[in-house]
Structure 1
Amino acid sequence: MEWTRGHVLGRGSSATVFAATSTSGDVFAVKSAHFAHSENLKKEQKFLSILKSPYVVSYKGCDITREGNNIIYNIFMDYMSGGSIMDSISVRNGGALSNLEIANYTRQIVKGLEYIHSCGVVHCDIKGTNILVEEKGVKIGDLGCAKWANQASQIHGTPMFMAPEVAQGQEQGFPADIWALGCTMIEMATGDLPWSNVDDPVSLLYKIAFCNEIPNIPNELCDQGKDFLSKCFVRDPRQRWTAKQLLNHPYIHQQFDDNNSNQTIYKKPINTSTSSPTSVLDQDVWNYIDQEEVPNSSSTLLCIERSSSSSLKIKQRIKQLASSKKSIMSKLECEKEESEKWVTIRMNE
């Protein structure tokens, strides 16, 4: 089979997503990474190949190609022509969704999470840029950070969407996805990121981990929406509502028709690419912390001054993790993405 690589749809921390067409005219998305750096992409391929749900991006296969001097690992998925939720919001003048739209999208995300969790999988990086839009609604995408619930592994994800227990380096289970769902609802309601009032990544992670605070619940949400968010933002993961419980919440317990797009903010295809930085928190980043010494204060936490050398190391590490990473696909990407130039790829026999 031959296929043609098109324009860039999005960039992650370790791979890039392109539009593509087959010789038969089928349109799909291809996510690519240099083979030497494709560990996360191979992991995503394994999860996508076993997850079959209308609320999770569909897997269509994988391949290895040689492009110039590069060996590239590719996985094929649904082409979600509306881009991500954040793409859809960005083309709006107001920059946010209505309560009905948020409820409809949230319902579909929760159904996707309930299915993923029932399979024993934790997504670990739920956020607006990983929720993809099509004419019928939304699907969960980007499982590059996913893990089995019973698997011990490094902490993954985007710091601003991390639950308190994740920021503390304790655990990253199903409840962490629910906290991140709440953060994604804030994005949909405001067009802005959660914790938008905190700029410094070091302060942010300490605030999430050790302050008895939650992100600001938007006034734009109706009362039922605010109550739904309060179930997502329970700081104790054991008390946080599960996806199965949230499916019965009145905010999303409405008669939505998944085959009807009347309540969906579907937009024309997005040609601009998006950046979605994801990071990995080393477990030992937090091991030096004696939590009893962390002050119980709502003020910005910069309480890592007990050891100047250790403090500097930790600060630098967290800032590296919280910052955008340059895509390892930079050599692959066309410098003139706007030109709509297509490249034919010869697949392996």
Structure 2
Amino acid sequence: MEMEWTRGNIIGQGSSATVYLAISPRSSDVSAVKSAETSVSNSKQLQREQRILSSLSSPYIVSYKGCNFTKENYKNWFNLFMEYMPFGNLSEETRRNGGRLNEPTMAHYTRQIVEGLEYLHSKGVVHCDIKGSNILVGEKGVKIGDFGCAKMVDEIAPIAGTPMYMSPEAARGEEQGYPCDVWSLGCTVIEMATGFSPWSNVEDPVNVLFRVAYCDEVPMIPCFLSEQAKDFLKKCFVRASKERWSCSQLLKHPFLEKIQESDSCSPTSILEPGFWNCEEDSESFVFDDLGKISFENCPVGRIKKLALCSRDPCWKLGDENWIIARGNDADAESSISDVNDRISSDYFCEDYVNYKISDVSFVVNSFDFERDIGRLMTDSTLDFL
């Protein structure tokens, strides 16, 4: 890669190399650079990854940008330059969303992964290590990255990958072809749905490999998923590799045809769970001219528009139309903090509490009745927060 660049902060660490930011001082372009010392065997693995990645070109695969050798601190380095994905990996994205992605988002990301896998398989490449931390997140969705374990389908190579995501045939050391990527895809979907690895109740990798290879088991499919999602996972978790669905078949599965709910569908009540999910969809809001977030397309924004279409409401405490739902005025004043305290102690982890409390405060600010919201909150509120 013939260009001037500066090595930035570490953004990833693998078993064979370290990933840094690479910044061009002239153009301010940002890339990701994966580096390994040439004096160790890991450098050969990285050069092998470079040969595979440089032969690929797909909107669902991280783009190859070049490679070079450098000498830094009296050490020789091989550097592989790739597209920088600003939002990290899919595992991190799942954690940012409270440990679970909603099903339409899962379907959207899964389709992009399957599109990428179908392209790889059409080129004779097996990724061999599909998992959440190897799926990178950008502005338009996700792309497959980290080809450190990848190989050509007819290539004789040792079995590689992560035990928790390995298919039965790979765990037995028999073969590692296209179907192994499909099994790993199913494991990744479970990770998106639950925030945990597909065998979360087993920590020992050796025990995992034995169970996957020789026990008649498959990862547990979450009961809260739709029938379409469950059926999709069943097609991925067929233990016989020859009977497992291919990526071309999976692309026609109804689960991947799931789309976000139409903008014209408004909730009938703020007690509906979907009402509070508007911020989870990155396409539900835009930035206005002042750089502030505008929720014009989400349910909260639509309800606010409807309110503005009618006559101005009167939010005076003394208005006769108010119905006292909780105790006295002191109870009304403190109800929001009471609800937040109860949520914090009984229902959610800290990060999720902050997320849901921000939802509540947004509704309060939207309608300008901070003091009076306490009169509307009852114990049933906790059923959907």
**TM-score normalised to the size of structure 2?**
0.66
Counterpart selection for 1:151 from 150, 155, 166: 155
Q: Aligned partners of 2:233, 2:249: CA distance in 1, in Å? A: 13
Counterpart selection for 1:108 from 98, 112, 133: 112
* Native 8 Å contact 1:136 1:264 kept in 2: no
Q: Aligned partners of 1:116, 1:110: CA distance in 2, in Å? A: 10
- Flag the structure with higher strand content: 1
* Native 8 Å contact 1:190 1:220 kept in 2: no
Counterpart selection for 1:83 from 88, 112, 120: 88
Instruction: Give the corresponding residue for 1:218.
Output: 222
Q: Given the alignment of the two structures, is residue 4 of structure 1 paired with residue 9 of structure 2, yes or no?
A: no
Instruction: Give the corresponding residue for 2:62.
Output: 57
For 1:156, what is the secondary structure of its paired residue? coil
Instruction: Give the corresponding residue for 2:18.
Output: 16
For 1:30, what is the secondary structure of its paired residue? strand
Residues 236-245 or 218-227, more deviating: 218-227
Q: Aligned partners of 2:106, 2:22: CA distance in 1, in Å? A: 30
Equivalent residues in 2 for 1:238-277, closer than 5 Å: 238-254=242-258, 263=281
Counterpart selection for 1:194 from 175, 193, 198: 198
* Native 8 Å contact 2:132 2:191 kept in 1: yes
Instruction: Give the corresponding residue for 1:45.
Output: 50
Displacement, 1:249?
0.2
- Flag the structure with higher helix content: 2
**TM-score normalised to the size of structure 1?**
0.72
Instruction: Give the corresponding residue for 1:183.
Output: 187
Instruction: Give the corresponding residue for 1:174.
Output: 178
Q: Aligned partners of 2:108, 2:243: CA distance in 1, in Å? A: 25
Displacement, 1:228?
0.3
Q: Aligned partners of 1:161, 1:107: CA distance in 2, in Å? A: 19
Instruction: Give the corresponding residue for 1:237.
Output: 241
What is the Cα-based RMSD across aligned positions, in Å?
Answer: 1.6
Q: Aligned partners of 1:186, 1:220: CA distance in 2, in Å? A: 11
Q: Aligned partners of 2:259, 2:223: CA distance in 1, in Å? A: 25
Report the AA paired with residue 104 of structure 1. H
* Native 8 Å contact 2:94 2:192 kept in 1: yes
* Native 8 Å contact 2:108 2:259 kept in 1: no
Displacement, 1:199?
1.9
Equivalent residues in 2 for 1:270-349, closer than 5 Å: none
Misfit runs of 4+, over 6 Å: none
Total equivalences in the alignment? 260
For 2:9, what is the secondary structure of its paired residue? strand
- Which consecutive residues of structure 1, in runs of 5 or more, have no partner in the other structure? 257-261, 267-349
Q: Given the alignment of the two structures, is residue 30 of structure 1 paired with residue 23 of structure 2, yes or no?
A: no
For 2:256, what is the secondary structure of its paired residue? coil
Deviation track 1:301-320 (CA, whole Å, cap 9, x = no partner) reads xxxxxxxxxxxxxxxxxxxx
1:208 to 1:9, Cα distance in 2 relative to 1, 3 A: same
Q: Aligned partners of 1:141, 1:218: CA distance in 2, in Å? A: 26
Report the AA paired with residue 122 of structure 1. V
Report the AA paired with residue 174 of structure 2. Q
For 1:109, what is the secondary structure of its paired residue? helix
Counterpart selection for 1:165 from 156, 159, 169: 169
Q: Given the alignment of the two structures, is residue 139 of structure 1 paired with residue 146 of structure 2, yes or no?
A: no
Displacement, 1:91?
2.4
Report the AA paired with residue 48 of structure 1. L
Q: Aligned partners of 1:264, 1:73: CA distance in 2, in Å? A: 37
* Native 8 Å contact 1:104 1:264 kept in 2: no
Instruction: Give the corresponding residue for 1:275.
Output: none
Asked which structure has the greater RCO (Cα within 8 Å, sep 6+), the reply is 1
Displacement, 1:43?
1.0
Q: Aligned partners of 2:59, 2:167: CA distance in 1, in Å? A: 27
Residues 105-114 or 194-203, more deviating: 194-203
Report the AA paired with residue 190 of structure 1. T
Report the AA paired with residue 135 of structure 2. I
* Native 8 Å contact 2:126 2:152 kept in 1: yes
Counterpart selection for 1:120 from 110, 121, 124: 124
For 1:238, what is the secondary structure of its paired residue? helix
* Native 8 Å contact 2:62 2:83 kept in 1: yes
